[in-house]
Structure 1
Amino acid sequence: MTTTRSLYRRLRSTYLWFTAGFGCFLVALAVLEQEGMPRQWIGYLFMLGTIVLYATIGVLSRTSNVLEYYVAGRRVPALFNGMATAADWISAASFISLAGGLYLRGFDGLAYIMGWTGGYVLVALLIAPYLRKFAQYTIPDFLAARYDGGDGGRAVRLLAVAATIAVSFIYVVAQIYAVGLIASRFTGVDFSVGIFLGLASILVCSFLGGMRAITWTQVAQYIIIVVAFLIPAMWLAVKHSDNPVPQLAYGKLLSRLSAREAVLQQDPREAQVRDAFRQKATEYDERLRQLPVSWEVGRIEAQRHLDRIKQRNASLLEIRAAERALIAYPKNVDEASREWTEARDQYLARAEPLTPHAQPYPGTPEQSDIKRNNFLALVFCLMLGTAGLPHILMRSYTTPSVEDTRVSVFWTLFFILLIYLTIPALAVLVKYDIYHALVGSDYAHLPNWVSYWANVDKVNPLLSIADINHDGVVQLAEIGIDGDVLVLATPEIAGLPYVISGLVAAGGLAAALSTADGLLLAISNALSHDVYYKLVDPTASTQKRVTISKLLLLAVAFIAAYTASQKPADILSLVGAAFSLAGSTLVPALVLGVFWKRANHYGALAGMTTGFCLCVYYMVHTNPVLGGSAAGQWLHIAPISAGIFGVPAGMLAMAIVSLATPAPAHRIASMVDYIRAPEQ
């Protein structure tokens, strides 16, 4: 106890000094900006400064001790474990994408807030304290011991490892994608180069010091995250409502935003732009109906256009544009079908009438019912998925006792809510600013941030504004904005100094890196501890086990970075898939393993397999990106909510098979009694 208190006091002093130093760093950069330092250099200093900080913590925390590498020596004080877990939890999806999702979806975006926050309550009530009492290293460790059917839980362990890798890999790809987005915007490097620059920072912490280095780094990252997120939100709250508390300004501005939306809904110029998008969608629909003839005609026309401008000695710029158009033209009929379908759907989406931000489930009664059901299904999947995320559950092993784990969960919820209660307010504040300051402005005087973000990714633009109706005035329907841009661009939208833009980028980077560290460690530990040590070489020395874990971590990190460089999907879609998989595969086995003594290893195998297979089948069968079709949806449930079918199926399969097969051994029942017994 004395050692724990001493460590707490030392950590408190260290991080107070860190916070003060970080504040001085911000002030110094603000002064340098006023003195004329180029913006790009400020971006470099933020990126370099934070990465050097994380690398320094990683080097100072390096270890080859198994207990320290896997679970930080089980001595992290509850308050600091709460901060570290919050940083682990507040991923790129939360920091970068969630406010953008609320901006684009309005009320429907609240499903993420409700699901993720409610999910952490489930972690506190159903799983975390019981895992800590069991005192193992990984989630497959717990499941293998709980469902030992005489083979040492070998089969269950392998399934749990496969689920851990699948869930964590999808999730980590989203984080690394965010790293590339931030690095490319604030340093000017190519998106793919930015990914590998961020990867270097991830590896220094997780590779050298495992959970110990990650924990102390994540505490520092949380401080950066909360400062970076709150400052722009508070500034906008003061700017538009004279109230520095975003959550209080939120309600006042929502009514004003609704009034502005009503004006825009009646604007004939808005309707004109949406009609133009609808016409574009009709043209693509016609092309799709006339395939393969339309593809061949279009290819010939693109070649003839290039030949014509060459013959009339057009400018080099025109020739290059025609060449790029020919190169970008679909290479075959299948590619044309895919690209034109996507373009048609995008134009149809932009042709939709404006939906008021606060209106739940808009549309006809049938559409409203479908949207409501999808909202509830997504909340369910995110809640259950949270309770099954391996990198979050691993943190319950790092505290000194079960009591500390419970207290740690309280602090985690507190630190998460500081961000999550601000996110809906920030979405409204930014939307209010754009609807008043940008919409209706002159195209000849667009703010600088528009061109900055329009040029970050020229292949798939994150922001586009085009004068569709040629009136020289920006209409709302003419603004195409990616949800992943909104938070990063907020300081520029709000008119804040560029140093705050760098701060927000550092916060987004911290959110992505902190989660990526935990995910990569969860994958490498599952492979090294649960596969190599437990199944391949049980006599391996502790040094060898840690070395194997580090090598596997390197391999997984580079595979994930390569996958992220292919830009497989937006961040929220990737993360949503991970939650459905985690809930469908791991939650039935974890929850029934704690609360139902009759559950056995046959049931666990059946439940995990059924949940995983059904979830994957539904995603593949209904997601157009994976080759499926929305026509195959059950009850009109979107593929991101596949867990609504996978979790009950896994629970049911586990219950039926457990009851149909012999009960587990007496020692397994005694184990369940032990982990559920109150602490003395």
Structure 2
Amino acid sequence: MSSMQTWTLVFVVLTFGIYIYIAYASRVKDTSGFYIAGGGIPSPANGAAIAADWMSAASFISMAGIVAFSSNGYGGSVYLMGWTGGYVLLALLLAPYLRKFGKYTVPDFVGDRYSETARLVAVLCAVVVSFVYVAGQMAGVGLVFQRFLNVDTTTGTIIGMVIVFFYAVLGGMKGITWTQVAQYTVLITAYLICAVAISLQLTGIPVPQIGFGQILTELDGLQRDLGIEAYTEAFTDTSMLNMVLITGALMFGTAGLPHVIVRFYTAKSVRGARYSALWALFFISLLYTSAPAIGAFSKYNVINQLSGTTEAEAPAWYQSWRDVGLIEFNDANGDGVIDMAGGDGLGELVINNDIVVLATPEIAGLPAPIVGLVAAGGLAAALSTASGLLLVISSSVANDLYYKKVNPQASEARQLLVGRTAMAGAIVVAGYLGINPPGFVAQVVALAFGLAAASFFPILVLGIFWKKCTAAGAVAGMAVGLGTTLAYQLWTIDIYGNAEGFFGIQETGFGTIGMILNFIVTIVVSQFTTPPTEVMQQLVEDVRYPGRTQLVAAHATGALEEDVLHGERAAEDEPRDTGPDERPGPG
């Protein structure tokens, strides 16, 4: 076993041991702890957990590769703009109000705000989005094990499934949250050590965000010398239309992701949810401002080390990644020399986007312990998001479907059993999808964001800010948004021969179109269908204002019954606090 494999094994065993211990120490015995960690997580810790949950394998493993190995870095910037912009949108526009509404899950909000039919449609949307998203995470786990521990992708994915099964099923949201705090620590430490070391090596500047500027100038010159567009040139491989649509799908999809939204329910209060968002934005920015630098550093090193060499002359890292099938050399002219001129910026080389961050320490010649730490960081990123997604699937089935529809009299123990069983089943399906993913990690994840944008974002926004949005409108909007987007994504898969799509719109950007259709259908149908009850309209009004009226408090604690929220009883039958410290409800 090489020193790199030894160090990788050391870090993997050490970090996995920490995750399992945390899960055991945080094990829960009630549904509140299982679904929302009892609503008692401090803001800094919740912010770190949100960051780990949201920064998936796509962020850690794949994003820098997209930025690096597009024909330039500009096309890959849609992921940076969309994901970070979407988080700000979520933190400011939705999270505090959803937390104040006081339910466990997004389908729970949809069911209470609209109707039980809408709840069922929302459960379907949540499960579809989460399964597509988790496929990318499990594929990332298999990729790391494949390269660094010399096991096949299937075996690596199964190992990841076993670890997630243990701490997610045992600890629920409480165990997952504290595990994700540890996973964030591992992934950000690995990422920043790598970024700082390479920045120092190439530029002499220890701050990668600053050293990045110097390398960009040199990289532009290198690419021009190879006869391709400058690295910073705009719209060379992604049209302006697709830049807008993909950025929109990622942004609005982020604001509609059920596994991220549920994180704000784990905060101690609405104020805590706001501070959690602030902490999460800080933690996220540490990685997202470093990713473009790592992408540029990697491409600079790849061009300098490989362009004009033969495979026999190539460095050891090239041979290692080629042996596991993640680098290919297509010798088009038969001269045996790696020609990186033309094409997509790599010429005769085909490099899997998902290897860039994992390979960067080797490419830069960093010590074996750093290589092992980065591998552990990639696993932490994938597993943290996978566990959050699996909890969404579990809660959708156990809470929103079983408890709310099938057996409302179920005991706490029964609900926990159903939730854990649902999670175990979801892990098996997720593992299968990870072994057979429909694309590279970030591409699969981007499809999930498009589905979230098309299904959940309009319904959440209108549910909070338009009190007359109706149940029929919400059901129709979600069905049209999810249906059209999923159909387009499936239709544009290469096996059907429709990869170009309509007007050249990429499948990763169609979620924006689906979202617009959702908004239109929901608004139009709401104009011609029965409006919500006066109680519901009053509740929507109260949720948007500071303070906590009796109506909001009663709803958050479950004191409002179904016939009050959605039945015929008048709003004036319900108490409203009009004291000096609260906003009186409108007359």
Sort the Cα spacing of 1:440 and 1:630 in 2 relative to 1 into closer, same or farther, 3 A.
closer
The letter for the 1-side match of 2:8 is G
Matches within 5 A, 1:384-463: 384-456=252-324, 461-463=325-327
Aligned equivalents of 1:470 and 1:622: distance in 2?
Answer: 34
The letter for the 1-side match of 2:112 is A
Matched-pair contact (CA < 8 Å) for 1:589–1:604 = yes
Matches within 5 A, 1:16-31: none
Which residue of 236, 241, 248 maps to 2:198?
236
Q: Which has the larger radius of gyration?
A: 1
The letter for the 1-side match of 2:232 is A
1:568 deviates by: 2.5
Matches within 5 A, 1:113-512: 113-147=80-114, 153-265=115-227, 354-362=228-236, 371-456=239-324, 461-465=325-329, 467-476=331-340, 477-512=347-382
Aligned equivalents of 1:158 and 1:37: distance in 2?
Answer: 52
Aligned equivalents of 1:362 and 1:193: distance in 2?
Answer: 39
Sort the Cα spacing of 1:611 and 1:258 in 2 relative to 1 into closer, same or farther, 3 A.
same
Sort the Cα spacing of 1:240 and 1:39 in 2 relative to 1 into closer, same or farther, 3 A.
closer
Gaps of 5+ in 2: 341-346, 548-581, 583-587
1:567 maps to 2:437: yes
Q: Which whole-Å deviations, capped at 9, do the CAs of 1:190-236 have from their partners, x for residues lacking one?
A: 21011000111111111001000000000011111111111111111
Aligned equivalents of 1:605 and 1:468: distance in 2?
Answer: 53
Partner of 2:49: 84
SS at match of 1:444: coil
Q: How many residues align?
A: 540
Aligned equivalents of 1:470 and 1:629: distance in 2?
Answer: 32
Name the stretch that deviates more: 183-192 or 547-556. 183-192
Matched-pair contact (CA < 8 Å) for 1:138–1:526 = yes
1:45 deviates by: 1.5
Name the stretch that deviates more: 425-434 or 36-45. 36-45
1:628 deviates by: 5.1
Matches within 5 A, 1:605-624: 605-624=475-494
1:584 maps to 2:448: no
Aligned equivalents of 1:470 and 1:171: distance in 2?
Answer: 40
The letter for the 2-side match of 1:110 is S
Gaps of 5+ in 1: 1-35, 148-152, 266-353, 364-369
Aligned equivalents of 2:350 and 2:498: distance in 1?
Answer: 25
1:56 deviates by: 0.9
1:40 maps to 2:2: no
Which residue of 495, 499, 503 maps to 1:630?
499
Which residue of 93, 105, 122 maps to 2:58?
93
TM-score w.r.t. length of structure 1: 0.78
Partner of 1:524: 394
1:54 maps to 2:19: yes
Aligned equivalents of 1:610 and 1:502: distance in 2?
Answer: 46
Matched-pair contact (CA < 8 Å) for 2:453–2:515 = yes
SS at match of 1:464: strand
Aligned equivalents of 2:527 and 2:330: distance in 1?
Answer: 63
Q: State the Cα RMSD in Å.
A: 1.5
Q: Which whole-Å deviations, capped at 9, do the CAs of 1:511-550 have from their partners, x for residues lacking one?
A: 0000000000000111000011000000110011011100
Percent identity (aligned): 41
Which residue of 555, 559, 564 maps to 2:425?
555
Partner of 1:659: 527
Partner of 2:578: none
Sort the Cα spacing of 1:184 and 1:630 in 2 relative to 1 into closer, same or farther, 3 A.
closer
1:158 deviates by: 0.3
Matched-pair contact (CA < 8 Å) for 2:136–2:437 = no
Aligned equivalents of 2:505 and 2:337: distance in 1?
Answer: 39
The letter for the 1-side match of 2:44 is L
Partner of 2:34: 69
Aligned equivalents of 2:222 and 2:456: distance in 1?
Answer: 46
Matched-pair contact (CA < 8 Å) for 2:4–2:371 = no
Name the stretch that deviates more: 635-644 or 470-479. 470-479
The letter for the 2-side match of 1:382 is L
1:86 deviates by: 0.1
The letter for the 1-side match of 2:293 is A
Aligned equivalents of 1:609 and 1:264: distance in 2?
Answer: 49
Aligned equivalents of 1:475 and 1:160: distance in 2?
Answer: 50
Aligned equivalents of 2:365 and 2:334: distance in 1?
Answer: 28
1:81 deviates by: 0.5
The letter for the 2-side match of 1:250 is F
SS at match of 2:33: helix
Matched-pair contact (CA < 8 Å) for 1:146–1:671 = no
Aligned equivalents of 1:218 and 1:79: distance in 2?
Answer: 12
TM-score w.r.t. length of structure 2: 0.90
Matched-pair contact (CA < 8 Å) for 2:75–2:236 = no
Name the stretch that deviates more: 507-516 or 354-363. 354-363
Partner of 1:639: 507
Aligned equivalents of 1:601 and 1:444: distance in 2?
Answer: 65
Matched-pair contact (CA < 8 Å) for 2:394–2:420 = yes
Aligned equivalents of 1:551 and 1:378: distance in 2?
Answer: 36
Partner of 2:558: none
Aligned equivalents of 2:403 and 2:318: distance in 1?
Answer: 53
1:472 deviates by: 4.9
The letter for the 2-side match of 1:138 is T
1:137 deviates by: 0.9
Matched-pair contact (CA < 8 Å) for 1:183–1:198 = no
Sort the Cα spacing of 1:522 and 1:662 in 2 relative to 1 into closer, same or farther, 3 A.
same
SS at match of 2:22: helix
Q: Which has the higher helix share?
A: 1
Aligned equivalents of 1:239 and 1:540: distance in 2?
Answer: 61
Name the stretch that deviates more: 94-103 or 668-677. 668-677
Q: Which whole-Å deviations, capped at 9, do the CAs of 1:91-126 have from their partners, x for residues lacking one?
A: 000000000000112211000000000000110122
Aligned equivalents of 1:163 and 1:660: distance in 2?
Answer: 24
The letter for the 1-side match of 2:397 is L
SS at match of 2:284: helix
1:143 deviates by: 0.8
1:620 deviates by: 2.5
Aligned equivalents of 1:472 and 1:605: distance in 2?
Answer: 59
1:677 maps to 2:552: no
Matched-pair contact (CA < 8 Å) for 2:135–2:434 = yes
